[in-house]
Structure 1
Amino acid sequence: MIFQETGVMEDEIKSYETAQVLKKILTDRTPGPPSLPKSDPFGLKALDGPLPLPPWISEDDIKYVVDKFDRTGFTGALNYYRTMDLNWELMAAWTGAQVKVAVLYVVGDEDMVYTTPGLKEYVHGGGFKKDVPFLQDIVVMEGVGHFLHQEKPQQSTGLIHDFIKKF
């Protein structure tokens, strides 16, 4: 799988059907950073039929997003990953800078980022608080993945609302 060469990943996604790829992205609970093996980058070859959807997203929701991606393609979304090294270079001047505003950190316990090796230790072991000294609270939502605002919208909104009310 090549992210750097425009068109390669886009063609790969088309070969697996946009709806299936989006369902996999939205519902994946594999711990740790995403891995896209060349032989089956989205883990869809072994599936027998379409991926089932959780209750927080409907087939109509998927169809809406598929229609948008089918019209515009995935190049814009993939360009984020293609420019990751450049983004690190451009942000180098802020290496070690602290975030000095009040922060509420909300994450799902099944989020692929949160389950990346070392991140839980960073978040809960003091490293995060050192980098974000005005961290007010850390909330880990149980049974929730990367799209917590969609998976648990009332709980997410309530946490944000309660946080804002403090100010």
Structure 2
Amino acid sequence: MTQPAQVPDATHRSVDVPGGRIHLVEQGTGPLVLLVHGFPESWYSWRHQLPVLAAAGFRAVAIDVRGYGRSSKPRDIEAYRMLAHVADNVGVVRALGEETAVVVGHDWGSTIAANTALLRPDVFTAVGLLSVPYAPRNGFRPTDAFAMMGGPEEFYVSYFQRPGRAEAEIERDVRGWLAGFYGVLSGDAVPPADGGDPHFVPPGGKLSDRFPDASLPSWLGEADLDVYAHEFERTGLTGALNRYRNMDRDWEDLAAWDGAPITQPSLFIGGALDASTTWLADAIKAYPTTLPGLVSSHILDGCGHWVQQERADEVNRLLTDWLRSLPGRARP
């Protein structure tokens, strides 16, 4: 078995939670900051943040979300519903001997972090959201909304719904697929040759049909890509993709929170060239209502989807400034 990738002075371990075991990487002492990655990544997406947050006086903990890396990978699709991820985050805090934490997420991790703060404000005292804005549950069933997008083309979330379909595309060349996916959503992406949107699958095609045939994005080295590829070659992609396959279940589970705001202190960081920022511009405009505790919101010019890796120094500064501004979080 390959050994976990290393960040100097960080500690790898796994902790028991009610739904299984969660692998985490920890660095520093002080108030707990829980870092939650997105698709298709791992704890390693926070490699630039762990040492900086530790040096700033925080206990930084980056997890492998269930279904990823060395965390548990339940067989049932239903095991990846949002309520399970919220329970995992609470379980990690408890397993670390803490009562409260700040939660910060990117991509799917942003949505998981938002719902974690929404459902468990007693545990999570503040929330940072990267790339994907908070948009409260509304009256539209997600898969119905996705089916109306793209005309004859298929939205990538719809493409991911049928078990085994996306896996068959990705797992024949995990490293190549990841390189293309990371590249096409980066700020320095090469536009698809056919001029199409890389979030949509051409009729009869594959998502990767619109990936660039080019070198890696500037923020991702060959060794970094190896870390991601080795993990997914070992685990497969089903656990990661099962998060998408629970969006309708989440919509049903969260009915009691329809339209609910997150009231804790919050932070948003997005990329100006990220479709998540442009498509969900109305969600950002609604922050005075949906995130009444918002401390600051930042759109990084020239940045794509992978903000904490593309703009590590800038994101580190924004994160540490925000964390230090929180009540009781300033470094002595």
Tell me whether the two structures share a fold, i.e. TM-score over 0.5: yes
Q: Structure 1 residues 39 and 61 mapped into 2: Cα distance closer, same or farther (>3 Å)?
A: same
Unaligned runs of 5+ in 1: none
Normalising by structure 2, what TM-score? 0.44
| Structure ranking higher in helix proportion | 1
Deviations 1:59-83 (A, max 9, x none): 1111121111111000011001111
> Which of 227, 230, 240 lines up with 1:77 in the alignment?
240
Amino acid at match of 2:174: T
Q: Distance in 2 between matches of 1:2 and 1:164?
A: 38
> 2:169 aligned with 1:8, yes or no?
no
Q: Distance in 2 between matches of 1:141 and 1:105?
A: 11
Amino acid at match of 2:276: V
> Which of 323, 328, 331 lines up with 1:164 in the alignment?
323
| Alignment correspondent of 1:36 | 201
Secondary structure of 2:299's aligned partner: strand
Q: Distance in 2 between matches of 1:101 and 1:21?
A: 38
| Alignment correspondent of 1:26 | 182
Is the 1:20–1:51 contact (alpha carbons within 8 Å) kept by the matching residues of 2?
A: no
Q: Distance in 2 between matches of 1:40 and 1:162?
A: 42
Is the 2:160–2:245 contact (alpha carbons within 8 Å) kept by the matching residues of 1?
A: yes
Q: Distance in 2 between matches of 1:3 and 1:55?
A: 28
Normalising by structure 1, what TM-score? 0.84
Amino acid at match of 2:209: G
Deviation at 1:52, TM superposition (A): 1.1
Q: Structure 1 residues 2 and 33 mapped into 2: Cα distance closer, same or farther (>3 Å)?
A: closer
Q: Distance in 2 between matches of 1:87 and 1:66?
A: 29
Is the 1:32–1:113 contact (alpha carbons within 8 Å) kept by the matching residues of 2?
A: no
> 2:114 aligned with 1:114, yes or no?
no
Q: Structure 1 residues 32 and 163 mapped into 2: Cα distance closer, same or farther (>3 Å)?
A: farther
Q: Structure 1 residues 33 and 89 mapped into 2: Cα distance closer, same or farther (>3 Å)?
A: farther
Amino acid at match of 2:243: Y
> Which of 41, 48, 58 lines up with 2:221 in the alignment?
58
Unaligned runs of 5+ in 2: 1-157, 186-190, 327-332
| Structure ranking higher in strand proportion | 2
Deviation at 1:2, TM superposition (A): 4.8
Is the 1:32–1:115 contact (alpha carbons within 8 Å) kept by the matching residues of 2?
A: no
Q: Distance in 2 between matches of 1:121 and 1:6?
A: 32
Q: Structure 1 residues 90 and 78 mapped into 2: Cα distance closer, same or farther (>3 Å)?
A: same
Amino acid at match of 1:21: W
Secondary structure of 1:156's aligned partner: helix
Q: Distance in 2 between matches of 1:162 and 1:147?
A: 20
Coordinate RMSD, CA, aligned: 2.3
Q: Structure 1 residues 120 and 33 mapped into 2: Cα distance closer, same or farther (>3 Å)?
A: farther
Amino acid at match of 2:207: P
| Alignment correspondent of 1:144 | 303
Secondary structure of 1:104's aligned partner: strand
- Give the paired residue count: 159
**Higher normalized contact order (CA 8 Å, seq sep 6+, divided by chain length):** 1
Q: Distance in 2 between matches of 1:3 and 1:40?
A: 11
Is the 2:171–2:236 contact (alpha carbons within 8 Å) kept by the matching residues of 1?
A: no
Q: Distance in 2 between matches of 1:134 and 1:122?
A: 15
